[in-house]
Amino acid sequence: MKSLFKYIIIVFVLCFGFKTQAQNSIEEFKYKKSNLSSKESQELDFLINGGEGYMFITKDKQVISFPGKDGIIRLDINSSNDFTELTKGFTANMTSVIAINIQWDGNEEIVLEEQFLQKISDLKYIYIRSYTDLSKDLIQQKFYKLLEQLNKHKNVIVLYETMEQPS
């Protein structure tokens, strides 16, 4: 009887343990920063919002890059199509990319090509910002396919932030 009880517990631990390991963290940006040291918070803010080493797509689909000492560490996108353009313009090794910034229009479902995700093996953050009121539930609903893709890429943290409407 004790053996049966042990086996049942082991099965529960294995089933639920693997399920939680496969999920990536989804956190509000300001909450994530508040749980870091001052230095770590500044580094995250610099990575997401400023600094050098980033690439983006203009409205007329031109790739603009500002390489830093560590290469391109951040990609800024507005739509799924931007990934195609960025991969054409980004001929260097993509393993230096640590963060992807997505400025979401509140409508389009953003999906990454799997081969694109495989090229950015050091990815740590996907940061989603929008004028739409964001929450963890909304991210899970509207970015379902992206989150599903990220399950193969553990340890990627999805950060989100609602931007203030311009006046």
pLDDT digits (tens, 9 = 90+) for 57-82: 888 888 888 888 888 899 898 887 88
Confidence of residue 84 (pLDDT cuts 50, 70, 90): confident
Q: In percent, how much of the chain has pLDDT > 90?
A: 32
Residue 12 is assigned to a structural domain of this protein: no
pTM equals 0.80
Residue 108 is assigned to a structural domain of this protein: yes
pLDDT of 8 > 50? The answer is: no
Tallying the residues shown for the chain, one arrives at: 167
The residue range of the domain holding 84 is 24-162
CA distance 99 to 48: 7
Amino acid of residue 129: R
Residue 106: HSE in the Cβ half-sphere, 13 Å Cα cutoff: 7
- The pLDDT of residue 67 is 86
- The pLDDT of residue 91 is 58
Give the mean model confidence (pLDDT) for residues 42-62.
87
CA distance 55 to 89: 9
Q: In percent, how much of the chain has pLDDT > 70?
A: 82
Our count of domains for the chain comes to 1
Q: Do residues 127 and 156 make contact, with C-beta atoms less than 8 angstroms apart?
A: no
Residue 11 is assigned to a structural domain of this protein: no
Q: Which one, of 86, 93, 142, lies nearest residue 118 by Cα?
A: 93
- The pLDDT of residue 2 is 52
- The pLDDT of residue 18 is 42
Residue 104 is assigned to a structural domain of this protein: yes
Residue 127 is assigned to a structural domain of this protein: yes
Residue 15 is assigned to a structural domain of this protein: no
pLDDT of 13 > 50? The answer is: no
